[in-house]
Amino acid sequence: MRSYYIAGNWKMHKTVAESVTLAQELVEQLKTCKHKVMIAPAFTALSAVAQAIRGSSIVLGAQNMGPEAQGAHTGEISPLMLKDLGVQAVILGHSERRHSYLETDELINRKVLLALEYGLQPILCVGETLAEREAGNLEAVVGSQVRDGLKGVALSSLGSVTIAYEPVWAIGTGKTATPEDADAVHAYIRQVLAGLYNQKAADSMIIQYGGSVKPDNVSQLMAKPNIDGALVGGASLKVDSFSPIALFV
């Protein structure tokens, strides 16, 4: 049985003090939350947020990670450094990384494998642009992002991986895919996973939806059979919008 997984991607927002305040508010508000909840502050706030959520069930996540464990890689953060701070999950291949920082499927795959090697739970983000959707390439694009992102991931490690389907045109735009459209893509991703692994593994995979998830659309999205959670950007920055999303049922 799959369970819901709600993640908040704070992106490049908040000072350390602001991050700690939000984390403390979430600990308070989400005491009764039945779902797995992860928050991913900026790297600079990870350590302080780790302290703030200690003893709660909130999982600490990072928004990205370098593709090497250590060495001469100026400006990068390694899985060892994340683990050292108590980070358990890491968002990889977010569309902002793919499109603004030109991360390729090959690079993202290296990060996924490295995260798994060091015991971090990767959230592999996939999603098509509006142009790709309109050209009829949605399945080709999303399918290859899933296949390439998971290359070399053993069936035994798959349980640690989450996939987030985030149509690029829905991120930060206020445009949400309809629950029906999103569910159809999630079903397609499950079909790709069944081909790569097997049906049981595909049926067990948690696939989050991301792209303008808000308190007023979360329930309709989560009601769909193939949608198992949300990766939330803008609405994760305030306790008043993230709590109702995490507490949707």
Q: Interface residues with ligand PGA (CB under 6 A)?
A: 9, 166, 171-172, 210-213, 231-235
Q: Which residue has the CB atom at the shortest distance from ligand PGA?
A: 233
What's the token pair of residue 135? 């050209």
Catalytic residue among 96, 103, 128, 166: 166
Closest separation between CB of residue 96 and ligand PGA, Å?
7
State the first-to-last Cα distance of the chain, in angstroms, to the nearest integer. Answer: 17
Q: Is 73 a catalytic residue?
A: no
> Is the Cβ of residue 158 or residue 213 nearer to ligand PGA in the bound state?
213
- Asked whether the CA dihedral 238, 65, 230, 32 is positive or negative, the reply is negative
Active site residue 94: yes
Spatial separation of the C-alpha atoms in residues 227 and 162, rounded to whole Å: 12
**Active-site residue (options: 35, 94, 103, 186):** 94
Distance in Å, CB of 95 to ligand PGA, minimum = 7
| Shortest Cβ 48–ligand PGA spacing (Å) | 22
Whose Cβ is closer to ligand PGA: residue 191's or residue 215's? Answer: 215
When the beta carbons of 7 and 116 are compared against ligand PGA, the nearer one is 7
What's the min distance (Å) between Cβ of 53 and ligand PGA? 20
Nearer to ligand PGA, 12 or 72 (CB): 12
**Cβ 207 vs Cβ 228: under 8 Å:** yes
Neighbour count for residue 3 (Cβ, 10 Å): 10
Exposed / middle / buried, residue 204 (Cβ in 10 Å: 0-12, 13-18, 19+): middle
CB of 63 to ligand PGA, least distance (A): 9
Q: Which is nearer to ligand PGA, 13 or 83 (CB)?
A: 13
* Long-range contact pairs involving 143-147 (C-beta distance under 8 Å, separation at least 24): 143/188, 143/189, 143/192, 144/105, 145/93, 145/105, 146/189, 146/192, 146/193, 146/196, 147/192, 147/196
Nearest to 232 by CA among 190, 191, 185, 171: 171
Kindly tell me which of 98 and 224 has the beta carbon lying closer to ligand PGA.
98
Report the alpha-carbon distance of residue 244 to residue 249 in Å, rounded.
Answer: 9
- In whole angstroms, how close is the CB of 191 to ligand PGA at the nearest point? 23
With residue 123 as reference, give the H or E element that holds it: strand 121-126
> What positions carry a catalytic annotation?
94, 166
